[in-house]
Amino acid sequence: MRNSSPIFVNGFSRGGSTILTNLLASHPEVCLIGETHHAFKGHSITDSVWGIVRKCLYHDAPILAGQCQDFFSPRLIAERKPLSRWAKSRVDQILYAEKFRSQHPTFNQFKAPDQEFDAEEIEASRLLGMNIDGIVFANDAFVDMYPEATFYGVVRNGLAVCEGHVRRGQSPREVGERYQKLVDKMCDDAHQLARYEIFRFEDILNQPIETLNRVFLHAGLEISKLDKIRVHTRRVMDAHGNHRLRKGKYEWELAWISLDQLEDYLDRNVDANQAKLLSYSDRNEFLRYAGAAMERLGYSTSFGKQQTTSEQSRQGAATSRHAA
């Protein structure tokens, strides 16, 4: 395989995995390709219309036809069929080439503020991809292809995840069923794989420096090589129910901040702000299908006073890669 010691971050859409991914992408020896399925299906931010068509035709379609399964669809929340020998080689080649194609400010153009990657550095770097939603089930293929790979699972209070999707038109049942399946898959993988660790979104918000050290330690990355932390400006829910930019001028704006600025950059109350916007019926419906996953991760399923993010973090301190 051409990719050596790649890194994969598994998580939910609207689940906070971008923050942990940016921590890893801040290291000069790591190159981010974005969400893994975009290497096969394209993405409007980094690919032209022709680029998307080309990826769908030449990257995705052959894998789909060979597998008789939409292997790289994040909407397919199901086990994946084992990749054939040819498919493994093809997937590896596509991911390797994507490191060079992803020289975009949002991804891996810069290894540090005002310092761009050159081709030799990209060649030697460790690939970093985000496995979102259904691509969490593709993790089995990456375990098989890359025995030396490092895996992360990012989990978050399901009520906040649910609100983010309900606001965009999905039903609480659909979100709950997906959340339960993804939590089960991530926890099972973390229990079985030595190089897989689960991190809570709330821990990143409440103990960012401590969590950063754990994140780097898990991947064997030297924190001494870290200059600054890269962050993306994203819209977050404030206490008044306004979904707005907390920092920056536009969404996905890339910024580099010092370690001592990281804590101030993160909003610790975002979970509570989102969860309280759910109606009683939506919360009840979500927990009907995802309550077991919430309890497995140490999150409260009561309808009483919403836990603060710091309370969630303390309650889930025992959650680790051996979550059961």
> What's 177's domain CATH number?
3.40.50.300
Domain annotation covers residue 153: yes
What is the rounded average pLDDT of the residues 247-271?
A: 84
Band the pLDDT of 271: cuts 50, 70, 90: very high
What is the rounded average pLDDT of the residues 275-302?
A: 96
Q: Vertex 55, ends 90 and 92: CA angle to 5°?
A: 20
Q: Which domain holds residue 185?
A: 7-32+124-315
Per-residue pLDDT of 23-81, as tens digits, reads 999 999 999 999 999 999 999 888 899 999 999 999 999 999 999 999 999 999 999 99
Domain annotation covers residue 42: no
What is the rounded average pLDDT of the residues 255-262?
A: 90
- Of 179-183, 195-199, 221-225, 302-306, give the lowest mean pLDDT range: 302-306
Confidence at residue 312, expressed as pLDDT on a 0 to 100 scale: 52
Confidence at residue 203, expressed as pLDDT on a 0 to 100 scale: 96
Domain annotation covers residue 101: no
Band the pLDDT of 305: cuts 50, 70, 90: very low
Query: Has residue 189 got a pLDDT over 90?
Result: yes
What is the rounded average pLDDT of the residues 122-137?
A: 97
Query: Has residue 238 got a pLDDT over 70?
Result: no
What is the rounded average pLDDT of the residues 89-98?
A: 97
Per-residue pLDDT of 132-187, as tens digits, reads 999 999 999 999 999 999 999 999 999 999 999 999 999 999 999 999 999 999 99
Domain annotation covers residue 234: yes
Q: Of 142-146, 248-252, 264-268, which one has max mean pLDDT? A: 142-146
Domain annotation covers residue 270: yes
Average pLDDT in the chain: 90
Domain annotation covers residue 68: no
Domain annotation covers residue 306: yes
How many domains in the chain?
A: 1
Domain annotation covers residue 40: no
Confidence at residue 227, expressed as pLDDT on a 0 to 100 scale: 85
pTM above 0.75, yes or no: yes
Query: Has residue 240 got a pLDDT over 90?
Result: no
Query: Has residue 308 got a pLDDT over 80?
Result: no
